[in-house]
Amino acid sequence: MKVYKKLFSYVPDEKLSGYLAIIISSISAFVMVVGYYYVYQFFYDIIVSSNLENASVHSIKIVLYMTLSALLYAFSGIASHKLAFRLETNLRKKGIEGLADSSFRFYDLNSSGYIRKTIDDNAEKTHSAVAHMLPDNMQALLVPIFALALSFAISLRVGVVIITLSIVSGFILKGMMGNGEFMKLYQDSLSKLSGETVEYIRGMQVVKIFGCKLKSFTALHKAIMDYSKFAYHYSISCKRPYVIYQLIFLGLIAIITIPLSFFLSDIREPKMIAVELIMIFFLSGVMMVSFMKIMWAGQFIFTANYAVESLEKLYSQMQEDKLSYGKRTHFENSNIEFDNVSFSYGENKVFEDLSFSLSEKRTYALVGPSGSGKSTIAKLLSGFYKVDSGRIKIGGYPLEEYTKEAIVKNISFVFQDSKLFKKTIYENVALADENATKEEVMKAMHLAGCGEIISKFKEKENTIIGSKGVYLSGGEIQRIAIARAILKKSPIVIMDEASAAIDADNEYELQKAFKNLMKDKTVIMIAHRMTSITNVDEIIVLENGKVVERGDNKALREKQGLYSRLVSLYETANDWRVSK
C-alpha cells in the first residue's frame, strides 16, 4: 500500500479509478468463489444425491456467476488501465517539466541516453503494477481467503488439505519472488544497459566516420555482460522453488490419491470422497493461480517501487544546484564582481576562491588554455550553475537576489552554434521581445546585417527557416541570433566563441553586427581567435581556474607572459599549411 500511495500521488485526479478497480475486483473475487460453491453443489447433486433437476439449476448458476465474475474483473481492468496510462503520462510530464527547469550541472553529470531511458523505461515499468496488478492484487488476497472458507464449508478434510497447501506454498513463494537486493542489482544493470545502448546508437555516425574499433565500446560491452550475469543468476535463484511449486500443485491429486488408496476399503462415503477430490482439484487450481498472482504482484510492485524511486531520484537531481532567485527586479548597473567564488563539476574543481571585478559598459575578453574556466565563468554569470561557495554580484547585489525574469532580461548569451526555430526569420528575431514593434524588429535585423539575407528570398523576413522552408549558413544563422540579442537590449552580453567556424564571406558582416550589439554594453567575449579580441578594453587571462594576467592587448604582449605565448602559438598555427 505504501507503493500504491506513492504512485497515486502522481495521479490525484484519477484516484477514483484506482479505488473503483479495487472495489470491483473484490466483488469479482467473491462472486467467483460463489460460483465454485455452486460447482460443489452441482457435483454433489450428480454424484451423491442423484438430483439432476437441482444439478441443472446449479449449472446455470455456475455459468451466471463465473460470467459475472469475469465481466467484473474486465471492468476492474478498464478502470486500472485508465489510471495506469494517466500515471505514465504524468510521470513523463514531470520529467519533461524537470528537464526544462533543471540546472546545467545536471546535464553535465548525466548523459542524454541515461536521462531519456530513465524517464521512459521507469514510467513504463509502473504500468503493470497499476494496470494489471491493482485488480490482481485483490484477487490474490481475497480469493484464497474465500476459497479457504469454502473448503471448510465443504468438509473438514478439504479444508485441512487446502490450508496445508496454502502454508507450504507460502514458504515456497518467498523463494520464487527472488531476493530484494538481488532484484535491485538486476534492475540497476538493466537501466545501465538501456542508457549505454542509447548512447551507442546515437554515436554510430561518429563510429563509422572515424572507424572506431570494438575496444571503443567498453562501457556498452560491460553493461551487456553485467546484465546477462544478473539476469541468469536471478532466473537460477527462482528455478528450484518454482519447479517444486508446480510439482506440488500439478501433482496434488496424485499425492493425495496414493495414501488414500490404502484406505479405500474403510471409506464409508466413497461418493462424497469423490466430490471432495474433485473440489480439491478445482480449489487447488484456484489457489495456484492466486499464489502466482501474489508472486507476480511482488515482482511488479518491487519493479514499480524501484521505478518510482529512480524517477524521484532523477527529479531530485534536476532540482539540485539550481540558482535560487530573489525578488529584486532591476539592475542598478551592470558592474560585475566575482567574490571568492568556488565551483566544481562533481569531483573536478574548476575555481577556488576566484575574485575579480568588471566595470560596466566595457568590453572584456576571457583568454586561456582549454579547461582554464572561461566558459564556466560565462555560465555561472548567466545563472546556469549554482556556485559551491562565494558570490557573483551584478549591480552590487548577489545574483540570487534577482528574479529569474530580471536575469533573463538583463543578460544576453550568443553561443558558437546558435539555434533557430522552424518559424519565419521575423518570428525568430521577435522572440527576444514579445512587445517589440515591427519597426524595432526590422531595425535590429538591419543592425545585425540581416538585410542581405532576407533580400535573397521572395518572402523576405517572412521566409520560414528549417525543413519546411530555407536553410541558412552558419554565418547567416549567427547574424539572426545577433539581431535577436540586439532587440533584447540587455545591458550585459556574453559571447562564447560566437565568431568561431565562420567563413570569410560572413566574417566582415558578422564583425559589423558584433559592433552594433556591443555598443554601450558590458560585454564578455570568449574566443580562441586572437585577432577578434585585439581591440577589447581589457583581456583577462585564466590558467587553472585563476586570473594570472589582466590588461589590454599591447600591455600583455609586452609583458611576455602566458597571453603573449598563446598569441605566438596562434600565429604559428595560423601559418600552417597542408603539404602536398
pLDDT given for residue 71 in this prediction: 95
Which among 250, 285, 319 is the end of a domain? 319
Question: Is residue 94 included in any domain, yes or no?
Answer: yes
3-class secondary-structure state, position 83: helix
Rounded Cα distance, 261 and 577, in Å:
99
Question: Is residue 50 included in any domain, yes or no?
Answer: yes
Question: Is residue 329 included in any domain, yes or no?
Answer: no
Rounded Cα distance, 342 and 546, in Å:
11
353: left (phi over 0), alpha (psi -120 to 50) or beta: left
pLDDT given for residue 35 in this prediction: 93
What integer best gives the mean pLDDT of the chain?
79
pLDDT given for residue 569 in this prediction: 74
Residue 249 and residue 342 in one domain: no
Residue 389 and residue 520 in one domain: yes
Residue 464 and residue 504 in one domain: yes
DSSP class per residue in 468-482: TSB---HHHHHHHHH
Which among 284, 319, 354 is the end of a domain? 319
Tell me the Cα Rg of the chain: 36
pLDDT given for residue 529 in this prediction: 66
Question: Is residue 403 included in any domain, yes or no?
Answer: yes
| Listed residue (427, 527, 531) closest to 484, CA to CA | 427
Question: Is residue 326 included in any domain, yes or no?
Answer: no
Predicted confidence (pLDDT) per residue in 239-297, tens digit: 777 777 777 777 766 667 666 655 555 567 778 888 888 888 888 888 888 877 777 77
Whether residue 171 contacts residue 293, with contact meaning beta carbons closer than 8 Å, is answered with no
DSSP at 322? P
Residue 527 has pLDDT above 90, yes or no: no
Predicted confidence (pLDDT) per residue in 223-238, tens digit: 777 777 777 777 777 7
pLDDT given for residue 26 in this prediction: 92
Which among 319, 348, 364 is the end of a domain? 319
| Listed residue (157, 33, 19, 12) closest to 80, CA to CA | 19
Phi–psi pair at 155, nearest 5 degrees: -170, 160
Predicted confidence (pLDDT) per residue in 447-500, tens digit: 888 888 888 888 888 888 876 667 777 778 888 888 888 888 888 888 876 565
pLDDT given for residue 177 in this prediction: 62
Phi–psi pair at 492, nearest 5 degrees: -120, 130
pLDDT given for residue 72 in this prediction: 94
Q: Name the CA dihedral angle for 329, 332, 333, 336, rounded to a multiple of 10 degrees.
A: -70
pLDDT given for residue 443 in this prediction: 84
Residue 234 and residue 378 in one domain: no
Count the Cβ atoms, other than its own, within 10 Å of residue 179: 14
Distances (CA, A) of 49 to 41, 42, 45, 46, 150: 10, 10, 5, 6, 20
Predicted confidence (pLDDT) per residue in 327-371, tens digit: 888 888 888 888 888 888 767 788 888 888 888 888 888 888 777
**Helix intervals (H) in 251-368:** 252-260, 270-319
- CATH number of residue 72's parent domain: 1.20.1560.10
Residue 153 and residue 275 in one domain: yes
3-class secondary-structure state, position 491: coil
DSSP class per residue in 44-60: IIIIIS--HHHHHHHHH
Set of cell numbers at residue 344 = 566544481
Q: Which amino acid is it at 168?
A: V
Rounded Cα distance, 63 and 69, in Å:
10
Per the structure, how many domains does the chain have? Answer: 2
Whether residue 400 contacts residue 326, with contact meaning beta carbons closer than 8 Å, is answered with yes
Q: Cell 517501487 sits at which residue? A: 305
pLDDT given for residue 41 in this prediction: 92
Residue 304 and residue 342 in one domain: no
Residue 60 — pLDDT band, cuts 50, 70, 90?
very high
Rounded Cα distance, 40 and 38, in Å:
5
Residue 310 and residue 179 in one domain: yes
What's this model's pTM, rounded to 2 decimal places? 0.62
pLDDT given for residue 354 in this prediction: 87
Residue 90 has pLDDT above 70, yes or no: yes
Rounded Cα distance, 477 and 181, in Å:
53
Question: Is residue 327 included in any domain, yes or no?
Answer: no
Residue range of the domain that includes 154:
2-319
Residue 27 — pLDDT band, cuts 50, 70, 90?
very high
